[in-house]
Amino acid sequence: MPDPASSQTPRKPIGDPPDSPHSVGSTRAKRMQLATGKNPFALEMGGTIGPIEVEYETYGELSAGRDNVILITHALSGDAHAAGWDSEAGSTGRSWRLKHPGWWDRIVGPGKAIDTGRYFVICANFLGSCYGTTGPASINPATARPYGLSFPVVTVGDWVQLQARMLDAMGIDRIHTVVGGSLGGQQALEWALAFPNRVQRAIVLAASPRLSAQGLAFNAVGRQAIMNDPNFNGGDYYQTDHPNHGLAVARMMAHITYLSEEGMHEKFGRRRRQKRSGFGVEFEVESYLDHQGRSFVERFDANSYLYITRAMDYYDAAAKWGRGDLVAACQRIRSQVMVVSFSSDWLYTPAQCREFALALCRAHKPVTYVNVPSRFGHDAFLVENQTVGHLLQNFLKTTPTNPA
């Protein structure tokens, strides 16, 4: 869910230069059509959509036995560019990529935790986003105009089914490991539930089988900020001024949930940028959130934010797979699972993650659970690179319970 350019990360570029032996180097996004108007994609909430084009990136080489695939699933504002340096950033309008490598560059690359010298790594942008895969800003062939709010409701389940269709098209039957954090972690869990015979290992970082009521509330207020922006125009704003103010406010509120009280106190405290100024930006924390909001609207689509947060709201693994019983849902899983929580995360709390791990235990499924001490809140899965990398590296060596 957090942005790759988090508050807690250093301001200098994160990652190795493209000519480093530890970098995957210059990357170029690929695209694949996975549905057409005549052969549309069926959606979990009903209806169909087609055509669908998916943007994805790959790193490393696929083994002869096609048994070294690691699928990375990204979070709310993430994209397919997980590692390396985008060779087309200047020409695609994604200028922020010129200064920063992929959002998990510290983890993915030659000799790193997810070693591209050993694994074939895939990361795909999900349906409804605004980073290359079909979404609300895409042209609806029926109207020759952007979909806007006529885009159908999508779910975490839809994203996983579409990823499975992509792997089918690539001739990949089995996944060595699926890994993701936050909303990406829920996709990793859904993979283990929906395709138990295809997944050998599933790594769920800073995520649980469902979002809390507090998380639902923050998402609801964020969507209201967008939809009540004077420029929202029922989602049909692509030819006019965009609802930038509403999207910025939504981002500011969401970003608070990515941090922790300890981290915010350490970084900002009650320091002021200037003397009292009435109701303008006065405190350092206000300035930071204002910057996060303004930078976000330069690269994200407000309608995509509505659809993605709603998909996040809807996901409930127990309700979908166990009729409300999480232990019953976990009975489906055949993969080796690792669940990682972070001590100061209050979006997907350690208690929620532990509940999931205990449900796996009660279902007699092999699970590794680790609660990482961290002051970085929910952002920790993107920031605690050394600890997360160590955990991933060791878990990838475990013997799968569901061998090919």
Contact in structure between 245 and 294 (CB atoms under 8 Å): no
Active site residue 182: yes
CA distance 119 to 113: 10
Whose CA is closest to 1, among 368, 259, 265, 262?
259
Q: Is 121 left (phi over 0), alpha (psi -120 to 50) or beta?
A: beta
Active site residue 344: no
Q: Is 244 helix (H, G, I), strand (E, B) or coil?
A: helix
**Three-class secondary structure assignment of 60-81:** CCCCCCCCCEEEEECCCCCCCC
Contact in structure between 116 and 68 (CB atoms under 8 Å): no
Active site residue 236: no
CA distance 107 to 130: 24
Catalytic residue among 138, 182, 260, 344: 182
- Give rounded-to-5 percent helix, strand, coil for the chain: 35, 15, 45
Catalytic residue among 74, 345, 374, 379: 345
Whose CA is closest to 248, among 189, 201, 298, 185?
298
- Residues catalogued as catalytic: 182, 345, 378
